[in-house]
Amino acid sequence: MEAYNGVSVPAGGQAIEVRDGKFIVPDHPILPFIEGDGVGPDIWRASRTVFDAAVREAYGGQRRVVWYEVFAGENAFGRFKEWLPQGTLDAIQRFHIAIKGPLTTPVGGGIRSLNVALRQLLNLYVCLRPVRYFPGVPSPVKHPERLDVVIFRENTEDVYAGIEWQQGTPAAKRVIDFLNQTMGKNIREDSGIGIKPISVTGSKRLIRRAIQYALDNGRKNVTLVHKGNIMKFTEGAFRDWGYELVKEEFSEVCVTEAEAGTKPGKVIVKDRIADSMFQQVLLRPDEYDVIATPNLNGDYLSDACAAQIGGLGMAPGANLGDEHGVFEATHGTAPKYAGQDVINPSSVILSGSLMFRFMGWKEASDLIERGITEAIRQKRVTYDLHRQMEGAVKLKTSEYAQAIISNMNGKEAVHG
């Protein structure tokens, strides 16, 4: 019997397959899940109940997820003395789509971040972050509903490639000597050094996914966000390669901002300098649909946008490659709330909704989003939203999951 990490794959399910870049999803797909550390078990229990209810409600037993637990983080370390066992990677590789809760970042121990390791090992080159508002969620801006963007952040390159040398080490000295003596630079001897690689391959495959997403989902524009006025050969090149890609592959369906109005096109491709983009999402949010950006800009921008619609507790995320997708919470393990059944599970629940949409299970995804929208509209929320919403009812994590489920088909009478 097939097993990973010594745990048998449950009977009754089939593996998702990928053929010619298309995900072929059977009616009973095996989906590996990583429960996550800290509040992970609380969140997973609630999320799984919501997922199963949505699938049941949408497909009446014809479709069903066969969940399969795989291990990473503290849970894996406790069992196998490894933070990210090979069996977990093999299982995700085999079944193609997985979902995970938050993981503790090990301090010391050779792995910088489990999330970064997963992305690099499975070549998950897109970090996808849709950011939209759910009416009633407390927000620091006057019109949070005007922001509805889908961010495609490059996930494998840039300063995240991990190429850096600590100040004062012989390696740092060698790099500095090379740059000063051979390349005519003038770097201070007491510097630490980091390298920012951005490639044609990495940029074009990311921007291609962003444009394709806009076309598939009826979005009107794609904005390339970069700091190319300063970093010409990395960030500036990212922008240039984006426009080059439009000419090479999308000239029939896309126009640039300069061409808009003179030539028909389903999607407008434009670019903005990163610092101005942070103003734009606050001041003119409705002018942006899909955003494609290098790693570091994307990291900052997705958290800033999430704050605008009510915080990380509500923001879903996914890491996608050509053949794999790992859907995940965007917040951390919030260890002080572990085991208390109080944390907001919306980030994982919405990541699951995103996963179902990606699998083509649109009906289940719609039900989950309707359930969340209604529960929040009725002000039946967890502590984090409760403390900022007047007249709200404070629910436990598990009760909030039930509130979502009972609202899925709009059957629930409006609550007190």
331 φ/ψ angles, rounded to the nearest 5 degrees? -95, 180
Residue nearer to ligand NAP on the CB measure, 207 or 296:
296
**Which regions of 59-198 does DSSP assign to beta strands (E)?**
66-69, 97-100, 126-132, 148-154, 164-165, 193-194
Residues with Cβ within 8 Å of residue 216, at least 6 apart in sequence: none
Q: Does 245 bind ligand NAP (CB under 6 A)?
A: no
Q: Please give the Cα distance from 396 to 402 (Å, whole number).
A: 10
SS3 115: helix
Which one is catalytic: 4, 68, 125, 160? 160
Q: Does 384 bind ligand NAP (CB under 6 A)?
A: yes
Q: Please give the Cα distance from 251 to 259 (Å, whole number).
A: 11
Residue nearer to ligand NAP on the CB measure, 145 or 303:
303
Q: Does 376 bind ligand NAP (CB under 6 A)?
A: no
Q: Does 138 bind ligand NAP (CB under 6 A)?
A: no
Residue nearer to ligand NAP on the CB measure, 13 or 316:
316
Per-residue contact track with ligand NAP, 94 to 113, x per CB under 6 A?
--------xxxx--------
The nearest distance, CB 113 to ligand NAP, in angstroms, is 7
Q: Please give the Cα distance from 300 to 318 (Å, whole number).
A: 16
The nearest distance, CB 179 to ligand NAP, in angstroms, is 33
Q: Does 347 bind ligand NAP (CB under 6 A)?
A: yes
Q: Please give the Cα distance from 257 to 260 (Å, whole number).
A: 5
Which one is catalytic: 37, 299, 341, 384? 299
Residues with Cβ within 8 Å of residue 275, at least 6 apart in sequence: 227
Residue nearer to ligand NAP on the CB measure, 187 or 338:
338
Q: Does 331 bind ligand NAP (CB under 6 A)?
A: yes
Residue nearer to ligand NAP on the CB measure, 289 or 328:
328
List 268, 334, 350, 375, residue binding ligand NAP (CB under 6 A): 334
Residues 154-177 as b/e (b if ≥16 CB within 10 A, e otherwise) read bbbbbbbbeeebeeeeeebeebbe
Q: Map the footprint of ligand NAP across residues 27-66, applying CB under 6 A.
A: none
Q: Is 133 an annotated catalytic residue?
A: no
One-letter amino acid for residue 166 of the chain:
Q
List 127, 131, 343, 395, residue binding ligand NAP (CB under 6 A): 343
- Residue 303, exposed/middle/buried by CB under 10 A (0-12, 13-18, 19+)? middle
Residues with Cβ within 8 Å of residue 343, at least 6 apart in sequence: 39, 42, 43, 334, 337, 382, 384, 397
Q: Map the footprint of ligand NAP across residues 257-316, applying CB under 6 A.
A: 313
Q: Map the footprint of ligand NAP across residues 202-221, applying CB under 6 A.
A: none
The nearest distance, CB 49 to ligand NAP, in angstroms, is 16
How many other C-beta atoms can be found within 10 angstroms of the C-beta atom of residue 10? 13
Torsion angle in degrees (nearest 10) through CA of 203, 207, 208, 213? 150
List 115, 139, 155, 295, residue binding ligand NAP (CB under 6 A): 115
CB 153 within 8 A of CB 226: no
Q: Please give the Cα distance from 44 to 321 (Å, whole number).
A: 24
Q: Does 378 bind ligand NAP (CB under 6 A)?
A: no
Q: Please give the Cα distance from 13 to 28 (Å, whole number).
A: 5
Which one is catalytic: 227, 270, 288, 379? 227
Segment near ligand NAP (CB under 6 A); pick from 117-125, 176-184, 198-206, 323-331: 323-331
Q: Is 275 an annotated catalytic residue?
A: yes
Q: Is 299 an annotated catalytic residue?
A: yes
- Contacts with ligand NAP by CB under 6 A: the residue count is 16
Residue nearer to ligand NAP on the CB measure, 88 or 115:
115
Q: Is 362 an annotated catalytic residue?
A: no
Active site positions, annotated: 160, 227, 275, 299
Q: Provide the binding-site residues for ligand NAP, judged by CB under 6 A.
A: 102-105, 115, 313, 328-329, 331-334, 343-344, 347, 384
